Amino acid sequence: MRNWQGTLALGVAITMASPALAQQDAAIEAMQDYLMFAEETAGIILPQQIDRTVFDNALFVDTRSAAQHAEATIPGAIHIEWREVLDRIDEIPDNRMTILFCNTGARSSQATFALRVAGRTNVVVMQSGFDGWQRDAAYHP
């Protein structure tokens, strides 16, 4: 009788874990699909490409900390910390270029990847981040 109860308990545990495993598998599959079909430079913009036309038409999202954003940012940028982009995806338009940045591009690249896997193909990361924009952008207001 104990073997039957143990088997039943194991079956219940596996059944309860299955939705979590299915979600994990779906997330991995979505990331694999994105990586297999994305162009090498998909989702990237260089500061040198940000001329006045790009600047005037894009939304900039500062993914740094609130303190860093308050200290200095790109004029007109909204603030969404990098870990919050999926929680706040409704604040990120899907109909215009959206440029995410942090100080160097490391954290914002993770946020951009998450958004692109979530289907936001209009989102790009600014390679070299805010530091690069200050130094190399083709346009500064």
**pLDDT tens, 99-128?**
999 999 999 999 999 999 899 999 999 999
Distance of CA 77 to the CA centre of its chain: 16
Looking at the fold, whether 29 and 49 belong to one and the same domain comes out as: no
Looking at the fold, whether 13 and 81 belong to one and the same domain comes out as: no
**pLDDT tens, 67-77?**
999 999 999 99
Q: Is residue 123 part of a domain?
A: yes
Looking at the fold, whether 26 and 48 belong to one and the same domain comes out as: no
CATH number of the domain at 93, please: 3.40.250.10
Looking at the fold, whether 32 and 49 belong to one and the same domain comes out as: no
Looking at the fold, whether 60 and 121 belong to one and the same domain comes out as: yes
Residues with Cβ within 8 Å of residue 123, at least 6 apart in sequence: 43, 92, 98, 100, 112, 115, 116
Type of residue found at 48: Q
Rounded-to-10 torsion of CA 66, 72, 78, 81 = -30
Q: Number of folded domains in the chain?
A: 2
Q: Is residue 141 part of a domain?
A: no
